[in-house]
Amino acid sequence: MIKKILVSQPKPSSEKSPYFDIAKKNNVEMVFRPFFKVEGITAKEFRQQKISLLNYTAVVFTSRHAIDNYFKLAKELRVTIPEEMKYFCVTETIALYIQKYTQYRKRKVFFGTTGKIDDLIPSMLKHKTEKYLVPLSSVHNDNVKNLMDSKKLTHTECVMFRTVSDDLTEEEVKNFDYDMLVFFSPTGVKALKKNFPDFKQGNIKIAAFGPATAKTITEEGLTLDLQAPSKEYPSMSSALQAFLSKRK
């Protein structure tokens, strides 16, 4: 019986988050506790990559962290991002987040539906002459680079933020009594093992968002019970609702 779920992400700021609906509908307690935190790199560290933000006409955003740190660095470097800059985002949620920093115009913001970079390629190919900048975490794979290379798109990857472990307190370790754990990154899975070196899964169900997270779970010797996104369930919340419904 699943009664208490740990979601390794910050608590949603909006009360309209689907996670709150899931908790109510399935009578489960949802606890939001990231196992890691994101830190932006400094302007000095960014300069060492010898990249000028104004050399690019389009930016590819794979997360809200990338948006935050792109505009933060622009401010620190005293760079004014041109109005005509184009933004390509892996989901609509990420695309809408751009409004926090600049006026949202449909003609310059493009987004996919599955959360995968492949979904953005058709839009990018319609804008083949753009010079793309791809802000990434210090821990990343080459999937975006390889895909854009294969389509002969002009692009440069750069590191704009890093992920560091956010260890549980003694109290949190003592009261770790969850029926299900939901992970969104390989870093989160590794942080679990760091906090609990002798972790035994037992009856605890584990969910993963993204292939890299799923791979890390199995590599760590854990059993994966739920994976998203899929064609049927593009988000973790929709996959989680379906999973809980089937267990009633």
Residue 91: what pLDDT?
87
> Of the residues 116, 141, 163, which one is the last residue of a structural domain?
163
Whether the CA torsion 208, 209, 212, 213 is positive or negative: it is: negative
Structure confidence by residue, pLDDT tens digits, 115-161: 788 889 999 999 999 999 999 998 888 889 999 999 999 999 999 99
Considering the domain architecture, whether residues 159 and 43 belong to the same structural domain is answered as yes
**Residue numbers of the chain with a pLDDT score lower than 70:** 248
139 bridge partner residues: none
What DSSP string runs through 94-139?
Answer: HHHHGGGTS---TTTEEE-SSSSGGGGHHHHHHTTT-EEEEEEESS
- The verdict on pTM exceeding 0.85 is no
> Of the residues 163, 191, 213, which one is the last residue of a structural domain?
163
Considering the domain architecture, whether residues 132 and 171 belong to the same structural domain is answered as no
Considering the domain architecture, whether residues 54 and 83 belong to the same structural domain is answered as yes
> Of the residues 163, 193, 216, which one is the last residue of a structural domain?
163
Considering the domain architecture, whether residues 130 and 179 belong to the same structural domain is answered as no
40 bridge partner residues: 161
Take residue 140 and report the two structure tokens written for it.
């990343």
Total domains, the chain? 2
Residue 245: what pLDDT?
94
- Bond from prior residue into 229 cis (ω within 30 degrees of 0): yes
